[in-house]
Each structure stands twice: as C-alpha cells, then as structure tokens.
Amino acid sequence: MGEAAEGRWSSPRRTHFVLVHGLGGGAWCWYKLRALMESSGYSVSCIDLKSSGKDPTSADSVLCFDEYNKPLMDLLASLHETEQVILVGHSAGGLSLTQAMREFAGKIRAAVFVTATMLRSGFCTDQDVKDGVPDLSEFGDDVYDAGFGLGLHKPPTSAIVKREFQRQILYQMSHLEDSTLAAMLLKPGPILAIQAARFADENLVIDTVPRVFIKAVHDNVLRLEQQEAMIRRWPPAETYTLECDHSPFFSATLPLYGLLVKVAATF
C-alpha cells in the first residue's frame, strides 16, 4: 500500500492514543480497551495522574490542577516535535485534555471527550459548575468519603464515592467483575485541585484541535443534560452516543473501541 493510501486510512502503526482517566481512577480503567487497541496494532499510553493509580502521592496533598495534570503534560512534552497523538479523556479527564490542548495543540491530532468535562475555560462561572460538576443528590447526602488535608474547618481536599454506592452510581451497566475490580483500585481523588481548574480564555490555539464528544445516555455522574449543555456551549467537530453508564470502558468496550478507530480514520 502506498504512502498516500496509508495516510488516508490511518494505519494503526501510525496512530498513538493517550488515555486519561477521571477522578479517582487510574491507567487501570482502560485495561479492556487497551487490550483491543494494542491487538489491532495501535500504540496506547495510559497514564496515572498525580495521586492516581500507582502514583503514591496522597490526594490530600495535591492542591492545584497543574500539579495533578503534570504527568500528562510531561508525556506530551517528551514527544518528538513532529509526533501527534489522539487524546482520550474520561469524566474529569476532560479538564486534563483542555489544558493539554492549550499547551501542546501541535502535538494533538484530536481530543476525544468520553462523557467528560468539556469546558473551554474550566470552572470559571456558575454555569461551568452547573454543567460540569456531578450532582449525586438523588442518591442521598452521604455519598462521598472526604479528606480534609487542610483541616476540618477548610474545604475537602479529596473525595471518593463510598463503596456501597459505587456500582449504582459509576458502574450500573458494567459487568460485576469489572465493578468489583474497580472497587479494589479506585482511590480518593484530589477534588480541590479539580475545582481549581481554570484556564486563560485568550488562548485561541485550543480551537485548532479537532474535538469529539462521546455521550453516555445512562450516566449517573455527568448527566445527559449536562453533557448536552457543554456540547451546545462549545460545539465539537463530531458527537457520538453510547447506550452505557458513566464507565463505557467497562460497559461499552467494543462500541467505544469502534468509535475511537473511526476518530483515527476521520482526523
């Protein structure tokens, strides 16, 4: 096959995906998707953000978004100047993508928001908070275990959904084996750092990166109406829909894989 044809059909060996987890998750979230993608010949990097996954840092000590997102920024900085990757972010990982797009637009072929926080400037306005912050009030007032690294009279520095609520909130359509694994690996996330994610709006280079949003119809964390509100406010190049819960890497692995392959072929 000639060079022009290879480029047109996006040969897997030329495509590098970087997968970014949400709050409390880790590189482990993507294990099923990574297996599919690597067996098809794609290059895949799954990172642990600060305090997440195998990173030993306490979430209660991570107080700013720059520190939390540094592993992703370091990975992108290490790429050769001519290499481009497809970024895929889940949930709060969308904020990580947004910061990366501002700093490394030339290294990002496309950014895929998988039922993820897609706010152009982060949490700058009340509307940003309304659209991008999970509202779990229907599950009661005692859903989270919080950490108070700055003292009990200060705002919480970390949070994790209590184990007894995790399946019905995060994984209600996922296989029991996957939600059991997740319960063993999920960690408190640095909620104060996430809430501090705000980006200077004058950076226009961010709009040169094609964006794709993948909606999750049955998401109990980032509600469908929130997803659609963010899409209206900052329209992506493409929007797709999955009949899944908040964790499509478990509950809709094959359809998600198919959409990512489509993104690689399109952009």
Interatomic CA distance for residues 142 and 166, integer angstroms: 13
Is 246 marked active-site?
A: yes
First-to-last alpha carbon distance for the chain, in angstroms, is 20
**Residue in 219, 245, 247, 251 annotated catalytic:** 219
Q: Which two tokens stand for residue 265?
A: 């072929």
Is 179 marked active-site?
A: no
Q: Which of 37, 19, 18, 53 is nearest to 182 (CA)?
A: 53
**Residue in 90, 174, 245, 246 annotated catalytic:** 246
Residue 5 class from Cβ within 10 Å (0-12 exposed, 13-18 middle, 19+ buried)?
Answer: exposed
What lies within 8 Å, CB to CB, of 103 at 6+ separation is 73, 76
Q: Which two tokens stand for residue 221?
A: 């964390």
Residue 77 class from Cβ within 10 Å (0-12 exposed, 13-18 middle, 19+ buried)?
Answer: exposed
**Residue in 52, 91, 96, 158 annotated catalytic:** 91
Is 219 marked active-site?
A: yes
Q: Kindly list the catalytic residues.
A: 91, 219, 246
